[in-house]
Structure 1
C-alpha cells in the first residue's frame, strides 16, 4: 500500500469514521450508470425513465462533489490548524527560552542584590560605629590633654622617685645611727656594770674590816 492510499484511508476514516459513506455512494453511482445504460438499450421498462436515472446520477455526482469540497476544506482547515499550532508551538518555545534567559538574568540580579545588601549592612554597621565615636577635633584635643597628663605624671613620677631615694638614704643613715647608738649603749651598760661591781666589792671589804676591828 502506497503512502497516497494510506493518506486517503486516513482522511476517509477521519471524516466518515467506519460508516463507509463514500463506498456506498460509489456503488450507488455505478448502479445508476449501469441502470441508465440498460434503460438506454431497452428503451425503458416502465419503472424508471432515463431522465430520472440521469437525475439520480447528477444528484449523486453533486453529493460526491460536495463531499470532495468538504473534505478539501477540512483538509485545508486541518493543514492551517497544524501550521497555526506549529507557529504557536514555535512562539511558546521561544517564550520559554526568553523566560529561561529572564530567569537567569533575575537570578544574577538577585545575587548582585544580595551582595549589595550585604555590603550596605556592613557599611551601615561601620557608619553606626563611626557615629558613636567623637569628632576628630575632639579626639585630637583629648589626645593632647592625655599627653599633657602623661607628661605631668612622668614629672610627678620622677619627683616621687627622687623623694623615695632621699627617704631610702635617710632611712639607711637612721639605721646606721641607730646601730651606733645601740652599740654605744651596750658599751656604756657594760662599763656601768663593771663600776657597780667594783663599788659593791669595796663596800663588802669595808664591812669586813669593820667587823674584824675590835670595839673599845
Structure 2
C-alpha cells in the first residue's frame, strides 16, 4: 500500500488533535496505570518507580491541559481584541469615507467659487477698461454743455440766416425795382427818340 506524506500528516493531525501529542500521552498514562495496577509481583522500589512514572505522566498531562486551556483563553481574548479592532477600523473607515465625501463636496464648491472668481475677475478687468462713473458723469455733463452751446450757436445762425434771407429779399426787391426803373428810363429814352424822329 503506497501512502503519501500528505496523508500521513493528515492522519497524524486527526489522531493527535492539534499536534501536541495529547493522544500519545493519554495512551502512555493508560499503560502506566494498567501496568502499576496489574503487576503485584513488583517490589516496593519498582512499584514506587512505576508510581512515579504514573504521577509524572499525569502531571505532564495536567500541565499540557492547563497550557492548552491558557492558550485557548489567550486565543479567545485575542479574537475579542481583533473583533474590537475590526469594529474600530470599520468605524474609522466609515468616518474616513464620510470625510472624503465631505471633502469632495467642498472641492466641488471650491471649484465653483474659483470659477465664479475667475469670471468676476474677467468682468472686473473689462469694467476697469472703461472710465469710472464719476468721470463718465463729468464727461456727459461736458457733452451736455457743448450740446447747449451748439444749440445756442444753431439758434444764432438760424437768426442770422433769417436776417440774411430778409436782407437778400430786400436786396432782390431793390434790384428788381432798380431794373424796373432802368427799363422805364430806357423805354422813355427810346420813346423820346422815336418822338423826336417823327
- For normalisation by structure 1, the TM-score amounts to 0.60
Report matched runs for 1:1-216 at 5 Å. Answer: 13=17, 15-16=18-19, 21-39=21-39, 42-44=40-42, 49-154=46-151, 159=157, 163=161
1:37 Cα offset (Å): 1.1
How many Å separate the matches in 2 of 1:141 and 1:83? Answer: 84
Q: What corresponds to 2:185 in structure 1?
A: none
How many Å separate the matches in 1 of 2:140 and 2:34? Answer: 129
How many Å separate the matches in 2 of 1:137 and 1:30? Answer: 115
Residues 162-185 of structure 1: CA distance to partner in whole angstroms, max 9, x if unpaired?
A: 859x5xx98xx9xxx9xxxxxxxx
Q: What corresponds to 2:188 in structure 1?
A: none
Q: Secondary structure at the match of 2:131?
A: coil
How many Å separate the matches in 1 of 2:71 and 2:113? Answer: 60
How many Å separate the matches in 2 of 1:112 and 1:147? Answer: 48
1:94 Cα offset (Å): 0.3
Aligned length: 153
How many Å separate the matches in 2 of 1:53 and 1:77? Answer: 35
How many Å separate the matches in 2 of 1:80 and 1:30? Answer: 34
Tell me, which stretches of 5 or more residues in structure 1 are unaligned? Answer: 1-8, 178-216
Q: Secondary structure at the match of 1:130?
A: helix
Q: Secondary structure at the match of 1:49?
A: helix
Tell me, which stretches of 5 or more residues in structure 2 are unaligned? Answer: 1-12, 177-198
Q: Secondary structure at the match of 1:43?
A: coil
- Identify which range, 30-39 or 125-134, moves more after superposition: 125-134
Q: State the Cα RMSD in Å.
A: 3.2
1:82 Cα offset (Å): 0.7
